Amino acid sequence: MTNPIVADSAEASEAALSSVDLTSSGFDSTQARRQSLVILKRFMRHRAAMVSLAIFVLLFLIAFVGGALWKYSYTYEDTTGGGRYLPPSGQHPFGTDALAADNMAQVLRGTQFSLLIALVVAFLATTLGVVLGAIAGFYRGWVDSLVSRFTDLVLVIPPVVLAGVLSRNAIGGGGSNWYLIAIYLGITSWMSVCRVIRGMVLSLREKEFVEAARALGGSAPRLIFRHILPNTLDVIIVNATIAVSQAVLAEAALSFIGLGVHPPDTSLGLLIEKNQNEISLHPWLFWFPFVFIVLISLSVNFIGDGLRDAFDPRQKRVRA
Amino acid sequence: MFRYIVRRVLISIPVLVLASFLCFCLVTAMGDPLGEWKTTKPRTPDAVAAEEHVIGYDKPFFPRYGNWAVNFVEGNWNRDVTPGSDLAPVKKTLGSALWVTVKLVLIAELIAIIIGVIIGVIGAVRQYSVFDYSITGIAFTLFSMPLFCIAIMLKAGGIQFNNWLSSIGADRWITTAGPPPGGFSGGIGHLIFQYTGAYLLPVLCLLAIEFALYARFQRGSMLDVLNADYVRTAQAKGLSQARVTLRHAFRNALIPVVTVASLNVGALFSGAVITETVFDWQGMGVVIVKAVENVEPWMVLGWLMVTAVFIIVFNLIADIIYAFLDPRIRLD
C-alpha cells in the first residue's frame, strides 16, 4: 500500500491538519495527539473512504442544488406530443420517459427523497436504539428485561413488511408522505443498535470511572450521557452510517413493492419500479436511477468502513 | 438438550402471544378493510353493518382480538374480507405460498452459507491477496445493491439468454415468470431442465445478496480468530497449518456467522418478497403485498404469525448449533 499518490495525499492531509492546529491554538504537542485528531487522520488516510465521502457530498450537491437549478421540473411533461423515449442527449442528459418527462429531473428529485429519507431513518433508528439500549443496560433488572423482550418481539417481524403494513394508511392520503415513510422505517430498524449499545453499557457501567462519577453524586442521566455514552461513540457513529445505507435500500425496496413513496412524490426505488420493463428497450430509464442508488449506498458503506478502521485499527492495514 | 428445547418452545409461546397482539395492533392501524368497498358504490348502513358482522369488524378492538386469537388457535384462520373478490381462505393460501417460498429460500440460503463461508475463510487466510481484494470488493458492491435491481437485471439477462438459445435452435431454458409447473409430463431430463430453468434466476438473485453478507462476516470473524493467542499456541505446538485453520480457527469463527444466519431469516423473508414480485412466484411475498394493498386484516395477521414462528424456530436452531460449535456453551 505504499502507493506514492496515497502517501502524498496522506502527508498533505496531515500538513493541512497540523496547520489548522498551529493557527487555531498555537503549537502544543499534546494537542496534536488528541484522540479525535488521530482518528480523523486515520480516516483521511483511508483512500476508499475519502473518495466515497467526496462522492457522497457531490451527490448531495447534485441532488439538492442541481435539482433546484435544473431547467426542467420533475413534474414537467412534454405535452406537445413529441419527445417520448428520447435517448440521452444535450437537451435531456438522462433521456426522457414514456410521458416525455425529463429523466434527469426525476432522478434528481428521487435522489433528494432517498437521501432525506435515509438520513431521517438513520437518525431515528440510531437515537431510538441508543436511548433504549442505554436505559436497558444502565438500569438492568426489569427495565432491561422489558426492553430486551420488546426488541425480541419486534425482531420476529420482517422489517420491510412491518414498515409496509404501517405505511399502508399513509398511502390513502396521497400527496407528500416521504416523512411518514421515513418515520415508519426508522421505528422498525433500531433493534440491532439497541442490542449492541445495551451490551456495551452493561460492561461500561461497572467501570471505575463510572463508579467515581457516581460517588461524586452524578445523577443517572449525567452518568449515562456524560460518562458512558461517549465511550460508545465509535460504535454509534459506525452503526449510524450503516443505517444510512440500509435505509436507502429499504426505502427503495418499500417503494418498489408499492408500499413506500407514492406519486406525485418520487424516489429512486419508485423510478426503478416504474421503469423495470424498459431495461432492454430504453435502458437509460433503468440505469440512471440504479447508478444513483448504488452510488449512495456504496459510498456510505465505504465511509462506514473507513470510520470503523479509523476508530478500531486492530484488524486493518491503516496505521496511525 | 431435550429439556432445553422444550423450555425454549414453552418460552416462545408468550412471545408469540405478545407478537400476535402487536401484529393485531399493526393490522388495525392499516385502516378500514371495507374502506374501498364503501366508496365504490353508495352502501346502506344495513349493508355495511351486515358486511362488518361477516368479517368480524362489528366488535370493538379487544373482543375482536380475542375472537381472532381463539379461532386462530383452533385452526380457523378466517378468510379474505374484501367483498366481491374470490375470498381466499387464509390457511390454505398461506400453506401453498409458504411451500413455494420455503423451497426457494432454503435452497438459496444453504448455497449462500456454504459459498459465503468458504470464500470468507479463504479471504481471511490469504488476507490482502488478489483473491481477497476482489472478493471483498464484489461482496461490498453486492451488499450495496438493491435486491430488486439485481432481480430485474437477471430477468433481462435470462430473457436475452433464452433468445440466444432460440436463435441456435435450442429450447428456451430459463423461466422468468413463476415456479416450475410440476407434474411428470416429460422424462426425468425434461423435469430437471424445467426445474433448474425456473429456480436458477430467483436463487441466483437471493444468493447474490446473502453470500456477500456471509462472506463479509466469515472473513471478519476468521481474522479475529486467526489473530487470537490460542491459534498462535496451536501453531507453536507444531500443528500443521491446515489443522490449525480448520480445527482451531474455523470452528470458532463460525459462531458469529450462525448468529447472523439466524437473525437473517426475517430479512430473507423480506428478500423473498422482492424476488417473488419480480419473478412472479405465487409465494409468501406476493401474498403479503397483495394483502397489505387490499387491507386484508386476517391474511396479514396469518402471514405475520407464520413468519414469526419461522423466525423463532430458526433462532432456536441457531442456539442449538452454538452448543455444538462451542462446548463451553451449556444449554441446560
What pLDDT does residue A134 have?
93
Kindly state the average pLDDT of the residues B216-237: 87
Q: Does B311 touch chain A (CB under 8 A)?
A: yes
Task: Kindly give, in sequence order, each residue whose CB lies less than 8 Å from that of residue A50, ignoring residues fewer than 6 positions away.
Answer: A9, A43, A44, A306
Q: For residue range B58-70, list pLDDT tens digits in order.
A: 778 888 888 888 8
CB-nearest to B308 from A156, A160, A301 is A156
pLDDT-derived band at A175 (thresholds 50, 70, 90) equals very low
Q: Which of A123-127, A195-199, B198-202 bottoms out in mean pLDDT, i.e. has the lowest?
A: B198-202
Q: Within an 8 Å CB–CB cutoff, is residue A290 touching chain B?
A: yes
Cβ atoms of residues B272 and B285 within 8 Å: yes
Question: From CA A245, how far away is CA B145, in angstroms rounded?
Answer: 10
Q: Which three cell numbers stand for residue B57?
A: 369488524
E strands present in chain B:
none
Instruction: Answer yes or no: do B26 and A165 touch at CB < 8 A.
Output: yes
Per-residue pLDDT band for B330 (boundaries 50, 70, 90) equals low
Q: How many CB atoms lie within 10 A of CB A1?
A: 10
Say whether A301 and B140 touch across the interface (CB within 8 A): yes
Which chain A residue is nearest to residue B267, measuring alpha carbons? A158
Yes or no, beta carbons of A153 and B274 under 8 Å apart: no
**Coil vs helix vs strand at A174:** coil
> Which residue blocks in chain A are alpha helix, DSSP H?
4-25, 29-32, 35-45, 47-61, 67-69, 103-139, 141-155, 159-171, 178-186, 191-204, 208-215, 220-222, 233-256, 268-274, 283-311
CB A49 within 8 A of CB A318: no
| CB B217, CB B123: distance < 8 Å | no
- Neighbouring CB atoms inside 10 A of B115's CB total 16
What's the gap in Å between the CA of B74 and the closest CA on chain A? Answer: 22
Q: What DSSP letter does each residue of A139-158 carry, written as one string?
A: H-HHHHHHHHHHHHHHHTS-
Cell 394483502 appears where? Answer: B291
Judge contact between A270 and A258, C-beta under 8 A. Answer: no
The residues pairing with A102 across neighbouring beta strands, listed in sequence order, are: A96
Q: Does B209 touch chain A (CB under 8 A)?
A: no
Q: Which of A51, A59, A150, A157 is the mutation pick for testing B, counting most B CBs within 10 A?
A: A157
CA-wise closest residue to B27 among B93, B72, B87, B74: B72
d(Cα B113, Cα B120) in Å, to the nearest integer? 10
Those residues whose C-beta lies under 8 Å from the C-beta of residue A297, and which sit 6 or more positions away, are A245, A248, A249, B144, B145, B146
Q: How far is CA B173 from the centre of its chain?
A: 26
* Chain B residues in contact with A255 (beta carbon < 8 A): none
- Helix A283-311 to helix A47-61 angle (10° resolution) is 130
CB B321 within 8 A of CB B258: yes
Do residue A165 and residue B145 have CB atoms under 8 angstroms apart? Answer: no
pLDDT (mean) for B10-20:
85
Q: Does A161 touch chain B (CB under 8 A)?
A: yes
A172 in reach of chain B (CB within 8 A): yes
Q: Which of B152, B286, B295 to substitute to test the interface with A, most A CBs within 10 Å?
A: B152
Residue A129 pLDDT level (bands cut at 50, 70, 90):
very high
B292–A contact, CB cutoff 8 A: yes
Looking at residue A260, its pLDDT comes to 77
Q: In sequence order, which residues have a C-beta less than 8 Å from that of residue B167 and are 6 or more positions away?
A: none
Query: Would you call A152 an interface residue with chain B, using a CB distance cutoff of 8 Å?
Result: yes
pTM over 0.90: no
pLDDT of A113 over the 80 cut: yes
More confident position, B34 or A30: B34
Nearest chain A alpha carbon to B292: A165
Regarding predicted confidence, which is higher, B169 or B156? B156
- Closest CA–CA distance from residue A70 to any residue of chain B (Å): 27
Q: Do B273 and A256 touch (CB under 8 A)?
A: no
Tell which A residues from 260 to 289 touch B, by Cβ distance under 8 Å.
269, 272-273, 276, 279-280, 286
A290 contacts in B (CB within 8 Å)?
Answer: 146, 149
**Per-chain mean pLDDT for chain B:** 82
The model's confidence at residue A5, banded by pLDDT at 50, 70 and 90, is very low
Residues of B in contact with A156 (CB under 8 A): 15, 19, 266, 307-308, 311-312
What sign for the dihedral angle of Cα A108, A113, A116, A121?
negative
Q: Provide the percentage of residues in chain A whose pLDDT is more than 70.
A: 81
- From the candidates A55, A150, A168, A314, which should be mutated to test the interface with B, based on the most B CB atoms within 10 A? A168
User: What does the pLDDT read at residue B181?
Assistant: 63
Q: B131-163: per-residue pLDDT in tens?
A: 888 888 888 888 888 888 888 888 888 888 888
- Chain A positions in Cβ-Cβ contact with residue B11 (cut-off 8 Å): none
Contacts of A256 in chain B (CB under 8 A): 146, 148, 274, 277
Grid coordinates representing A21?
Answer: 492546529
Q: Count the neighbouring beta carbons within 10 Å of the beta carbon of residue B11.
A: 11
Which residue among B15, B153, B303 places its CB closest to the CB of A153?
B15
CA-nearest residue to B220 within chain A is: A315
Out of B31, B147, B311, closest to residue A168 by CB: B31
The mean pLDDT value for A77-85 works out to 66
Distance between CA atoms of B64 and B112, rounded to whole angstroms?
42
> What are the grid coordinates assigned to A246, written together?
440500509
C-alpha distances in Å from residue A214, one per residue of A13, A199, A209, A230, A297: 41, 20, 9, 16, 42
Kindly state the cell numbers that stand for B140: 461490498
Task: Report helix, strand or coil for A161.
Answer: helix
A90 in reach of chain B (CB within 8 A):
no
Q: Around Cβ A87, how many Cβ atoms within 10 Å?
A: 11
* Cβ-nearest to B266 among A159, A253, A305: A159
C-alpha cell read off for A175: 400527496
Q: How confident is the model at residue A55 (pLDDT cuts 50, 70, 90)?
A: very high
Lowest mean pLDDT among A24-33, A85-94, A114-123, A188-197: A24-33
Q: Which of A115, A52, A114, A107 is nearest to A298 (CA)?
A: A52
pLDDT tens-digit series, residues A235-266: 888 889 888 988 888 888 888 887 777 777 78
